[in-house]
Structure 1
Amino acid sequence: MIDFHNVTAFQQQTRVLDGFSLHIGAGEKVAILGPNGAGKSTLLKLITRELYPLDREGSHLKLFGSQNVNLWDLRSRLGFVSQDLQDDYTPHTPALDVVTSGFFGAIGAHGHLQASDAQRDQARALLASVEMAGHESTMFQRLSTGQKRRLLLARALVHQPRALILDEPANGLDMGASLGMLNLLRRFCGPEHAMIITTHHLDEIIPEIERVVLLAKGQIVADGPKAEVLTSARLSELYQIDLRVSEQDGWYRCWHA
């Protein structure tokens, strides 16, 4: 599904990834974990084509087997939720229009982009699925942070994508909203659906996540099954602090030793 090979990428004048390689197959559930500045957001921007890698010999970034991906086709295959999208969203957009805007890859409602009756019905069903029924007319700016995040999840699901990509999905949420969001994500973890979560919090890694990739300074320092990667030794080295890790019922937590 996603194939980085020897990829180099810049954010403005900063080289964030250099000779980076990563393969994620169809249907995989992967968490990408690392401290701030590790390259997590850059990685996602490369996947969603907000950012393009340096064009050089012996390097490629393939999505669904191709280096040349039509953006409209990509939007129908990948659903994306991020803090940046939430921050950029047009504040006076009613909740139902936030969801239908996903059909057009738009941010906000625009007069020339009119959803059909079938699309609006689908959007209402998605609002219900993320526990937002009854908020159709509520303006985006009047929703809580947790409600906004759930609304963007519904928007990401309009095309029934093959993969969900979530950049720190519980960032900024209180405990109740965080648990609610994570439980919603668990509903969309069928065997045919891939999920990629970037985070620096172990408690955002839902039990259905099977593989964890650790990033530091734009490089992969560990990649493998969750139980093998999420260890006290590896995370202590990653965050340069003495940590202890425990697991219960598929959920992981850590604390300062």
Structure 2
Amino acid sequence: MERYSLKTGLREQTILKDVYFTAPFNLVEVRENKKNQLLEIMVMSSSPGLLNDDCYDINIEVISGSALNLQTQSYQRIFVSEKGTSQNMKVSVGESAYFSHVPHPVVPHKGAKYTAKSVIKLKESSTLLWGEILTCGRKYMAEGEQFQFKKHHAITEIYQDEIMIFKDNLYIVPEEINLEEFGQYEVYTHQGSLFFVAPQTDVRQRMENISKDLSKEEGISFGISKVMDNAYALRILGNEGQQLYKLFTQIRKQEDALINQAISTLI
């Protein structure tokens, strides 16, 4: 089992207090402006992706009053393995803490089997921005690998004070369903989902701004829904992983900047 874990700390600004990782992982601080309150950590890996029955175990603790953005280095490739590959991720976000995570797209290779479960536990005063992007596979391979993977099953559960406020259960077995049918992917090959929740925040203005920006974007379809007065869920269908990643990253950077500014005014 390959794993990494980290815990934030506070020393005038958010710092990396405790960290542990095994091969192939390495966690590196990439905060350019050391005066920023937001801690930015990149997960680096010497492996080309998940292979050989890999099982990734990830634990993140964002302590009360701290702010963390967790980034990835590159696309997450899922290779063929005898038993399949998996990832389990647990995230804890404390009082008045912030966590944002918009990883690069997942690319399941032909014949790949992958299961993932992410459990995120928040406090009522926590702020979270969480994104996921799934591609159809190696779309531009000469022989074509569009939806040639065996199974992709990813579950995301988000709790606020032990009460579930959001669950996403993405289960795709291409051999069992025609993904080009109406109500499925239709003409698209990639999908992304984004969830945001913040205390004492009316998300209607954010939703309007996002809808306005995305309506100008070509080659996508999207829908955004208010989950609670202070939370929304966004889903986008498209044909390019980089396009979806860019759109989600733009939203993430806006929220990162807002939280960094908000924390700075309090100290």
Q: Same fold (TM over 0.5)?
A: no
The structure that is helix-richer by fraction is: 1
Higher relative contact order (CA 8 A, sep 6+): 1
The structure that is strand-richer by fraction is: 2
Question: TM-score, length-normalised on structure 1?
Answer: 0.29
Question: TM-score, length-normalised on structure 2?
Answer: 0.28
